[in-house]
Amino acid sequence: MRPLTVAAAQLGPIALETSRSATVSRLVGLMEAAKARGADLIVYPELALTTFFPRWYFEDEAELDRFYEREMPGPETRPLFDAARDLGIGFHLGYAELTADGTRFNTAILVDRSGSIVGKYRKIHLPGHGEHEPWRAFQHLEKRYFAAGNLGFRVFDAFGGRIGMAICNDRRWPETYRVLGLQGAEMVLIGYNTPIHNPPAPEHDRLSWHHNELVMQAGAYQNATFVVGVAKAGEEEGVHQMGGSLIVAPTGETVAQAVTEEDELVVATCDLDLCRSYRDSVFAFERHREPGAYALITGTKGPVAPDEAGRIDPALARPDD
């Protein structure tokens, strides 16, 4: 048995004008509550320090800059690191990062019980659009405000296990989990901000909750890993964001889930040894995968006609024999 007690710290809305220090105090309060419930690790959502600002179009860069962290920890986020060290609890935090060379990333870090950063991830799958689209009820300008992550999907040995990170839209892509699974990830931490309404495809709205659970359960089971999904939820600046924060076991079963759309801790003790049962049997990758048949997965970004598929992977060329 290798128990890791994890707390998914779902957040209710954060208003546009809320100060960084007020939000950090709120996060520290949740950290104290998680510690009181025996957590080794608390997981905060994507962009947990501010409102989900990609819902607005900002022409003025200076106005945009206020949402980004230039250093981590910085003066306003330092209390989180101090509290982690004092309480002896680790944390995962999503935030907007502005690097010294001026690049903007949607980032998450993993911090250990001593308050040291042990892992960083920069969001790879950026949803939404890059230009202002006034027809939408609200914008989703992640493609404008962030560069695609340049750190790949890495794993980090921490908390007695092997931890991977992904951010929001990454959870919908099987490649995310498989790359982490191939490195032996035992727990994947994923923060999200997901509006229930999807302006280009409103017919999906009624399925938001189903899709949220579906992708994380599939990712967990098919890669023999725990998945911790954490929402920023509720009515934030007029946009309804889904809750449903959850902890999924390698069985594919949800073991704990939020019931509100407010600040709420979802806590579970996860036996990381459970991963082995799946990784050594049905998902023993080294015995059962056939990477030679997967050339199309890295050989093209979008769909291709059968002829082009055959050029990328000769096994797909026609006619077959």
140 in contact with ligand CDT (CB under 6 A): yes
Q: Which of 30, 110, 168, 266 binds ligand CDT (CB under 6 A)?
A: 168
Cα gap 316→298, rounded to integer Å: 15
Whole-angstrom CA distances from 118 to 112, 159, 171, 296 are 6, 11, 22, 34
46 catalytic residue (yes or no): yes
Among 50, 51, 193, 223, binds ligand CDT (CB under 6 A): 193
Question: What is the DSSP secondary-structure string of 69-106?
Answer: ESSSS-TTTHHHHHHHHHHT-EEEEEEEEE-TTS-EEE
107 interacts with ligand CDT by CB under 6 A: no
C-beta closer to ligand CDT: residue 90 or 229: 229
Q: Is 261 a residue of the active site?
A: no
Choosing from 168, 186, 264, 270, the catalytic residue is 168
Nearest CA to 50 out of 95, 81, 109, 92 is that of 95
For the bound state, the minimum distance from the C-beta of residue 127 to ligand CDT, rounded and expressed in Å, comes to 4
Stretch that binds ligand CDT, among 22-30, 33-41, 78-86, 164-172 (CB under 6 A): 164-172
Which of 143, 151, 168, 148 is closest to 242 using CA atoms?
Answer: 168
**Interface residue with ligand CDT, options 92, 172, 178, 279 (CB under 6 A):** 172
Structure letter (DSSP) for residue 137: S
Pick between residue 175 and residue 280 the one whose CB is nearest to ligand CDT.
Answer: 175
Distance CA 72, CA 68 (A): 11
Annotated catalytic residue 123: yes
Q: Which stretches of the chain bind ligand CDT, using CB under 6 A? A: 46, 127-128, 140, 168-169, 172, 192-194, 198
